[in-house]
Amino acid sequence: MTTTFLDKLKFYLKSVVFGSLIIGCALYGVLASIALRIINKIQYSQYTVARAFYHSFSALLGLKINIVNEKYLHSNPAIYISNHQSALDIYVLGRVFQPGYFVTGKKSLKYVPFLGWFMALSNTFFLDRNKSEKARKVLDGALVQLKKQDRALFIFPEGTRSGKEELDFLPFKKGAFHLAKQAGIPIVPIVISNTSNIFNAKRKLFNSGEINIEVLPPVSTEGLVTNEDVTILANKIREDMLKVYKRLGYSKATGAKPCEDQQAVPNTDSGELTDTETEIISEETPLVSKD
C-alpha cells in the first residue's frame, strides 16, 4: 500500500483533531464527574464521556461502528476483554462502554492535566507498576466493588497495542483471567475487526470507514482452581476470539484501496498520536499469580 502526500497530510490533520477531542472530552469529563458525584451517579461518569467522544469523533472524522450481540455488553458484574490494535481503540471504547464500566490506569496518569483529573474523579483504579503489592490491594478493592455494585472492568489482555496488519493477536497475558477467577465473575470477549486500513500510524493513514465488532457470550470462571485451569481458559478464549477476528476480517475503509491480503468486510447488522492511552486499560505489571 503506497502512502501519498495527501494521505500523510490527512493523517496529521486528523491526528490533531483526535488529540483535541481527547482533551476536550477529558475536560468535559472533569465537570461531568463532579456533577455525577453530587447526585450519586458516578457509575455513569466514564460512560457519558465515552459516548461524547464517540459521537463527536464519528461526526468529525467520518467513522461508524457496527456491533453484533450488543446485549452481552450488559453482563455485569464481569471483566470485558478485547483485542488491542492502535490508538483508534479509544474511539472503539467510546461505543462499547456502558454504565458501570471502569478501567485501570498507570498511576502516573493521575497527574496528567484534564485526562488524569477526569480519570481520578470517575473512579479509575490507578496501579503502581513498581509496587505490585499495592497494585494487588487496589485490584482487590476493585473486585469487591464489581461484585457488590454490578460493575465491570475493561482490560486489554494483549497488554499493548499490537499494530498488526495481519489477522493475528499478540499472546494474551493472564491477569484479567486470574482476576475474573478471584472474583467469581465471567469474562466477556469483544472482537474488533482489523482497523489497520483505517488508522495506521506506521503508514500514516487515517481514513473514514466502518468498524465491525462482535461481542461473544460471557464465559463462566466457575470451577477454575489452579493456574493451569486459568491458562487453559485463557488459551481457549483467545482461540475463539481469533476465529471470530479472522471471520470479521478488515474494517471497511472509505475511498481506500486495501492491501492484497486484505478483503473488505460486508456490513453487519447493528444492534502520530501520544502514547497516553496505551497506559489505560491494559495489562500492567504482575498483579496476581501467573504461570
pLDDT in tens, 47-94: 999 999 999 999 999 999 999 999 999 999 999 999 999 999 999 999
Strand partners, 75: none
- Asked if residue 290 has pLDDT above 50, the reply is no
Which grid cell sits at 54? 464517540
Residue 257's pLDDT band (boundaries 50, 70, 90)? low
Residue 280's pLDDT band (boundaries 50, 70, 90)? very low
Higher-confidence position of 136 and 261: 136
CA 162, 168, 173, 177 torsion: positive or negative?
Answer: positive
Say what the pLDDT of residue 175 is.
87
Instruction: Mean pLDDT check: name the lowest of 130-134, 142-146, 243-247, 279-283.
Output: 279-283
Give CA–CA dist 128/23, Å, rounded: 24
Q: What is the pLDDT of residues 97-129, one digit of tens each?
A: 999 998 877 777 888 888 888 888 887 877 776
Q: Rounded to an integer, what is the distance from CA 178 to the centroid of its chain?
A: 19
- Asked if residue 23 has pLDDT above 80, the reply is yes
What residues have CB less than 8 Å from 59, skipping those under 6 apart? none
Give CA–CA dist 39/64, Å, rounded: 32
Say what the pLDDT of residue 132 is.
66
What is the reported pTM?
Answer: 0.85
- Asked if residue 130 has pLDDT above 80, the reply is no
Say what the pLDDT of residue 201 is.
92
Mean pLDDT of the chain: 85
